[in-house]
Structure 1
Amino acid sequence: MQFPESWLREFCNPPLDTADLAELLTMAGLEVEETRPVAPPFSGIVVAEILTAEPHPQADRLRVCSVAVGQGDPLQIVCGAPNARAGLKAPLAMVGAELPPGDDGKPFKIGVGKLRGVESRGMLCSAKELKLSDDHGGLLELAADAPVGADIRDHLKLDDTLFTLKLTPNLAHALSVYGIAREVSALTGAPLKTPAFLPVPPSHDAKLPVRVEAPDLCGRFSGRIVRGVDTQAKTPAWMVDRLARCGQRSVSALVDISNYVMFEYGRPSHIFDLDKIDGELVVRWGRDGEQLELLNGNTVSVDGSVGVIADRARVESLAGIMGGEHTAVSDSTRSVYVEAAFWWPDAVAGRSRRYGFATDAGHRFERGVDPALTVEHIERITALIVEICGTPDTMVGPMDDQILNLPSPQPVTLRVARAVKVIGMPLTQAQCADVFRGLGLACVEGEGTLTVTPPSWRFDLRIEEDLIEEVARIVGYDQLPPTAPVAPVMARAQPERRRSVHAVKHALAARGYQETINFSFVEARWEHELADNPDPIRVLNPIAAPLAVMRSSLLASLVGVLRHNLARRAPRVRVFETGRVFRRDPRARDGAISVAGLVQPRRVAGLAWGPAAALQWGEAERAVDFFDVKGDVEALLAPMRPRFVADTHPALHPGRCAAVKIDGQLIGHVGELHPRWRQAYDLPSAPVLFELDLDTVMARPLPAPQPLPRQPGAVRDIALVVTDGVAHDALIATLADDPLVRQVTLFDIYRPAQPGGGLAAGERSLALRLDLLDPTATLTDERIDAVVTAAVARAAQAHGARLRA
């Protein structure tokens, strides 16, 4: 919410300067995100009138102007603006004036100059040169009644400040200048100027038939006909300036009037071209297959969950969001229908985001707009239309006000003792009552209680805690005393068998990975492609159209991070994330931290792309591969010994993917991104990813002390010839299947370039070391040979292995 300070002070003018006013609003929960001046510093610029504008004798595009400045003789000014003409009033920087600072931060001082041999005693200015806007198409044209010689800052009221408020969704009543003034009055006690909505007397008796078929969509619908309007009338400069300072550009007089009242009182409204309405207006829910061309040029389809305003022929407007192009006012419009309604917040919420845009009207209606003042605000709009767009033929019709289904605010009771306990400072019942009365909340006092019936403009007051919050913020968060905790703070012991998430993150950071944090809601495409999840959990009200489903895997988020980094030319990417994923599971039941039908396990995932090591002299540059990341996973899980078994995963390369198992239980996958997705996501090369169950990773087996062996061990090396299809893990497990074999280690692989040397095509020789130990008796050569012979026999039987001659 952006607005000028001067407009706020017209409703409520407390004895505070700008900085104190901003601090007051922020400490009351209306966070002031930014304050900035309307105009940068400059001086010596006055309102001037061009008396004559003659062509420059030496330049076709320049004019030599005689300019009156309200004192002394006219000044000679050389100007190149295309709109420089006799009779125009524009800003003039006098000799000695200082223009706004440039890129170097220094102001530009005006002196006497010469342009193509003709002296110029000053400079006529554009809005861009004064840094009032980006318009550099010509001189800034001032109103015809602007006083010549007046300081331009005073004339345009440039010594003003723009406030930008960051409002939470519950503060719908502060989405207008008057609403904020009401808050300031309650906070400071300064008088609030209550608007008087004087009715515009009707001059004809025609009404447009309106039928509301959906009271659960529209609770109140008000409107009137105004005939004989001049839609080409120029919007007054004061209204254009105020709209601009609210961040709204001027469109046309009728549109500007509607927008002005919205910023003034928080009431979105709509003005139809009466002659384009076919017979009547019907307020109803949409029907499948209906389409509407909106004012922004988009054509949208509606269904039964979207509210519309239609006539007998077509849909004319999205209820509470945006009007349609067919009944939009234009230069040829002569009669209009002014509408203001109360749309139920639940009937508007999320609809505009469904179509990929947001509007000021939808932003307000989905939070709640006062249903009690539709008629009064139409009177305000009507008065402005008559004032600005009125003609001798202007005729105003009677008000048509249909009340069908308005909110019924329920009384909320505040226990003063409860408020004192929650807020943490002594308060009296009288203080709480003063807070409510200052906010315009009628309250009934009881024995230690205050019962408040929320007014029509407060949709956020529903429970006792809401009232406690009002008391706290009006009294002032800065007034809360620093209070030590009542209960003793005791550290919770971390089980030794379990490490913290923080320790897991440190372990990954030590391996060169950087943490990234992503949304838990992602694009549906990611779930379909990278998680093979055809039915992801959908978000009912997504913050953005693409972020429509809950993720069931962290891998897609990391691929998105990689793309973001590659777009910024990152040469090497190592990222990880910890977080929950969300999956459907019919076995899940409701609980304290669980939801029926859904599971939310925690995962840790990582991604590596680019060189295996940063550029250096000690190691040749090579791309990261499966085995690099496999080593990272092993280090992360140590001292547990995971097994890696060839497997498939929808996101990973079918030949370069392994399941990670601990004690036979699947805990995740590691592998290279599938070539199909590398190409689909426009990656220059495939990253290597892993995703593991976080709870398993956090487990930390305690070391079990073992006595030193009293007997010496023995080592034997063997070379086995096996086919390429024999897996390393399977061979090692077979050889180690003996109580005397303590460990088997592969230390060499031989595969000749050409078949020969006792090896056929598709065979390889594996050199393995067997560590043998019997803790109770000495190993003799006979026992050692028997163990080795048995191990070779097991390998021959299970894998077709043979000793290499």
Structure 2
Amino acid sequence: MRAAVSWIRAVVPGLPADVTTAQLADRLTALGLKLEAIERPGHDITGPLVVGRVLSFEDEPQKNGKTIRWCSVDVGAANGTGEPQGIVCGAHNFAVGDLVPVILPGGVLPGNFEIAARKTYGHVSAGMICSARELGLGDDHAGIIVLPPDAGAPGDDVFDVLPLRDEVIEFEINPDRAYALSLRGVGREAALAYGVPFTDPADRPAPSSPSAAYPVEVEDPVGCPVFTGRSVTGFDPSAPTPDWMARRIQLSGMRPISLAVDVTNYVMLELGQPIHGFDRDKLAGPIVVRRAREGERLRTLDGVDRNLSVEDLLITDDSGPIGLAGVMGGETTELCETTTNIFIEAAHWDPVAIFRTERRHKLPSEASKRFERGTDPTIPLIAADRVAELLTTYGGGTVEDGVTSVGAAPARTAILIDAELPARVTGMDIPAATTVDNLRAVGCSVVEDGSSLSVTPPPWRGDITDPFDLVEEVARIVGYANVPSVLPPAAHGRGLTRSQRLRRRIGRTLAGEGYVEIVSFPFIGTKDLDALGLEDSDPRRTVLRLANALSSEEPSMTTTLLPGLLKAASRNAGRGASDLALFETATVTLPRATGPAPIFGVDQRPSDAQLDELDKALPAQPLHLGLVVAGERERPGWWGEGRAATWADAVEAVRRVAESVGVEVTVRAAARAPWHPGRCAEVMVGDAVLGHAGELHPRVCTAYGVPGRTAAAELDLSRLLEHAAAMVEAPGFSNFPLAKEDVALVVDASVSVADVEAALREGAGEYLESIRLFDVYTGPQVGEGKKSLAFALRFRAPDRTLTEEEAGAARDVAVRLAAERLGAVQR
């Protein structure tokens, strides 16, 4: 909504004279009318722009068929000499003695158009006699502006005569502030901002008459609760729009067209009630408001033939549709240069019907923008009468006595509110009297009954429907800037939940290992599942499809975190960052065959049983941990050779995560997509499988564009946290020295390292502090189908130094148990 400051001041004459446009905009923004921009049309005009009197002129035909006038113009002392100014002008709509606006050399017109004395048509033209378009006052370029006889003396400043330098505030009007799409609404807010009286331009008596201005029948009172009209006869279609009205319309962002059209637009801007004028002589029979019928068509004022929907509200006569109600009129009855008799229609339309029609036909208009947000249903007849008054004042003719009025404005419902509610909600000290005064200031009718208030919103505020809407009205007037900033006290014994603490511990652990956390979209498509190499029977292919997906390529909720991680790794690798370690903790969605969720009413809180039903219909959403590591894990340099990331790094990261929450995990060989079948480990707690880690299959690396031999892991973090210790105890330390024992065992190639390590750990006893595999050998020395595994065993007692015999005995027991279980032979 664009509102000229001069028009606002005309509507609210009590505004303080020293209030600047910026200050006014700030106050209105604080009340909820968000400032979009402040424009200053005409402020780019500089230099001498003065009143000139035409002393004489000569018409000079040119070879190009054009006739110019060589004018002698008195500009007083503005040119420094007092001599008449010679100016070439192409317009012919002035006479000797007329006063005209003249810009002299050195001046600048809108568009940075600099004026200089230059030779043209055989004369040196020292300036320009200006048209409305050249001064930015309109689109009229056919003739220059002829000033009124009392405009001043030659040489006087034209800025004192023409409204050239105005200021315009453009507001971004929210849908619930429809009343502000008018000077009536903006003016009311301005008066409210400065506590000055407001005179409602719609506060005028509505006309009445026993006869109708034109016969009207409303078949759909729901779509059209109110339909009113007045008739004007003997109108002069050639009458010009007054300059002040054209200027206000132009500053509001609309284009002046003709007096009849401009008056309807002006009243719409003034009161917020869209108006439509029909050429009464073109109407055939009574007007009927109804829904469209199958197959009906209408050519609207924009020249487009439109196929109508049976849901469209229409204005019709005996010839058929003549207007798309609340959106745009039809060509057959439009006002034109020969219109002398006008029927003025002002109605109140159902906002939903207008919104749907506008979207259906892709036909937004100034009228529909207001109707779809809701207009004041009590002023259509007042607005129609205002249009009739302006038409006859400036275009002649007569307002007929008849008044068309069908229907009545819906009654407003009172809202009960506790007078102390605004204070409780906002935290501000708002006395009950302030609440009452502020509600009345916005137009509400308030009846006090002790601490309760019965508040009836004004008809132009369809957005006020419950007590908290009233709280908002009170709060915005008191001022949101006055809402105290108070930090609520933390309740005793609260803080992060156990799950939150454990998740943060896991994040810190992985960050310490060099991993970077990412957050990816939880959506997936068939292409991602194919890229992972999942079989058709894989449960991860059972996904929850979204009804309104953001992307048709990823229409489902993800069942695994790996696609998001691999896409992030691919983007990094594509930008040269191929050495990376990423992780993510997020939920995945695992559908269950529970059927659709029940739908309950919103009139009351669901019962506990209903909430249980809703919970049962939800898919399982366990928390997962995913990580990806690729490229160089250790960089080479003068200190030595680097090391590429391998499957072992993914497994080690999983171990570190488990240790951080006090869980001991075991790993064993497994085969599961998308991992390489020979380099995949299954992570377990007892007999429960938590997830998998290892090197990705080469086809998966190629499909996602990540470096070859990229490793990854994914764990069910929800299940891991179920086994997490309430408190992880720090390891104890002994002051006594280590006892070191190394063993090399030959086993079948099919025996896993984890099984051998488990046997050694069990057999080594209580003094075993650590066990580490440091070498794997296959070759002729151990035989075909065999491998040698070398382990470093470290023993330590908490209270004494272990003897060689004790350490050796523990080693021998460990080797013996590995031999019994796995057929291991010590080398």
- Name the TM tier (shorter chain): 0.5 to 0.7
Equivalent position of 1:499 in the other structure: 501
Contact 1:44-1:151 at 8 Å conserved across structures: no
Out of 220, 225, 235, which is 1:219 matched to? 225
Aligned positions of 1:362-401 closer than 5 A: 362-386=368-392, 390=395, 398-401=402-405
Structure 2 distance, partners of 1:495, 1:535, is: 32
Q: Does 1:443 align with 2:446?
A: yes
Contact 1:257-1:381 at 8 Å conserved across structures: yes
Task: Decide whether aligned partners of structure 1 residues 731 and 11 sit closer, same or farther in structure 2, where only a CA change above 3 A counts.
Answer: farther
Aligned positions of 1:275-674 closer than 5 A: 275=282, 280-284=287-291, 306-309=311-314, 311=316, 319-320=325-326, 322-323=327-328, 329=334, 331=336, 334=339, 338-348=344-354, 352=358, 359-386=365-392, 390=395, 398-403=402-407, 406-422=409-425, 424=427, 429-478=432-481, 482=484, 492-495=494-497, 498-499=500-501, 536-537=546-547, 552=557, 590=606, 639=660
1:6-35 Cα distance to aligned partner (Å, 9 max, x none): 111111131134343233323333343443
Aligned positions of 1:86-165 closer than 5 A: 86-87=92-93, 92-97=102-107, 121-122=126-127, 143-145=145-147, 147=151, 151-165=157-171
Structure 2 distance, partners of 1:297, 1:503, is: 68
1:781-805 Cα distance to aligned partner (Å, 9 max, x none): 76666666678779xxxxxxxx9x9
Task: Decide whether aligned partners of structure 1 residues 307 and 483 sit closer, same or farther in structure 2, where only a CA change above 3 A counts.
Answer: same
Secondary structure, aligned partner of 1:283: strand
Structure 1 distance, partners of 2:229, 2:188, is: 27
Secondary structure, aligned partner of 1:192: coil
Contact 1:273-1:336 at 8 Å conserved across structures: yes
Q: Does 1:68 align with 2:73?
A: yes
* AA aligned opposite 2:7: W
* AA aligned opposite 1:190: V
Q: Choose 219-228 or 743-752, whichever is displaced more.
A: 743-752
Task: Decide whether aligned partners of structure 1 residues 708 and 259 sit closer, same or farther in structure 2, where only a CA change above 3 A counts.
Answer: same
Structure 2 distance, partners of 1:473, 1:120, is: 58
Q: Per-residue deviation at 1:373?
A: 1.0
Structure 2 distance, partners of 1:792, 1:779, is: 21
Equivalent position of 1:703 in the other structure: 728
* AA aligned opposite 2:180: A
Task: Decide whether aligned partners of structure 1 residues 25 and 512 sit closer, same or farther in structure 2, where only a CA change above 3 A counts.
Answer: farther
Equivalent position of 1:800 in the other structure: none
Secondary structure, aligned partner of 1:408: coil
Contact 2:44-2:110 at 8 Å conserved across structures: yes
1:398-445 Cα distance to aligned partner (Å, 9 max, x none): 4332216x4332223443344455555555554444333333322223
Q: Per-residue deviation at 1:46?
A: 1.9
Q: Per-residue deviation at 1:377?
A: 1.4
Task: Decide whether aligned partners of structure 1 residues 92 and 515 sit closer, same or farther in structure 2, where only a CA change above 3 A counts.
Answer: farther
Contact 2:206-2:381 at 8 Å conserved across structures: no
Task: Decide whether aligned partners of structure 1 residues 259 and 85 sit closer, same or farther in structure 2, where only a CA change above 3 A counts.
Answer: closer
* AA aligned opposite 2:4: P
Secondary structure, aligned partner of 1:309: strand
Task: Decide whether aligned partners of structure 1 residues 424 and 261 sit closer, same or farther in structure 2, where only a CA change above 3 A counts.
Answer: same
Q: Per-residue deviation at 1:363?
A: 4.1
* AA aligned opposite 1:474: I
Structure 1 distance, partners of 2:300, 2:528, is: 32
Q: Per-residue deviation at 1:178?
A: 0.7
* AA aligned opposite 1:283: R
Secondary structure, aligned partner of 1:43: coil
Secondary structure, aligned partner of 1:44: coil
Equivalent position of 2:250 in the other structure: 244
* AA aligned opposite 1:183: E
Structure 2 distance, partners of 1:355, 1:298, is: 10
Secondary structure, aligned partner of 1:221: strand
Task: Decide whether aligned partners of structure 1 residues 484 and 527 sit closer, same or farther in structure 2, where only a CA change above 3 A counts.
Answer: same
Contact 1:181-1:192 at 8 Å conserved across structures: yes
Secondary structure, aligned partner of 1:499: helix
1:162-197 Cα distance to aligned partner (Å, 9 max, x none): 223344443333332111222333443423233265
Secondary structure, aligned partner of 1:339: strand
1:584-638 Cα distance to aligned partner (Å, 9 max, x none): 985868579996755796989999999999x999999xxx999999999999998
Contact 1:554-1:691 at 8 Å conserved across structures: no
Secondary structure, aligned partner of 2:728: coil
Task: Decide whether aligned partners of structure 1 residues 469 and 395 sit closer, same or farther in structure 2, where only a CA change above 3 A counts.
Answer: closer
Aligned positions of 1:752-763 closer than 5 A: none
Task: Decide whether aligned partners of structure 1 residues 381 and 497 sit closer, same or farther in structure 2, where only a CA change above 3 A counts.
Answer: same
Secondary structure, aligned partner of 2:475: helix
Query: In percent, how many aligned pairs have the same letter?
Result: 25
Q: When the two structures are superposed, what TM-score results if normalisation uses the length of structure 2?
A: 0.64
Secondary structure, aligned partner of 2:379: helix
Contact 1:715-1:770 at 8 Å conserved across structures: yes
Equivalent position of 2:537 in the other structure: none
Task: Decide whether aligned partners of structure 1 residues 785 and 205 sit closer, same or farther in structure 2, where only a CA change above 3 A counts.
Answer: closer
Structure possessing the higher radius of gyration over alpha carbons: 2
Secondary structure, aligned partner of 2:163: coil
Task: Decide whether aligned partners of structure 1 residues 244 and 279 sit closer, same or farther in structure 2, where only a CA change above 3 A counts.
Answer: same
Contact 1:537-1:582 at 8 Å conserved across structures: no
Q: Choose 447-456 or 291-300, whichever is displaced more.
A: 291-300
Secondary structure, aligned partner of 2:378: helix
Structure 1 distance, partners of 2:715, 2:338, is: 65
1:690-729 Cα distance to aligned partner (Å, 9 max, x none): 9999978999865344557998576667899989xxxxxx
Contact 2:228-2:406 at 8 Å conserved across structures: yes
Structure 1 distance, partners of 2:694, 2:233, is: 72
* AA aligned opposite 1:342: H
Task: Decide whether aligned partners of structure 1 residues 204 and 449 sit closer, same or farther in structure 2, where only a CA change above 3 A counts.
Answer: closer
Task: Decide whether aligned partners of structure 1 residues 775 and 527 sit closer, same or farther in structure 2, where only a CA change above 3 A counts.
Answer: closer
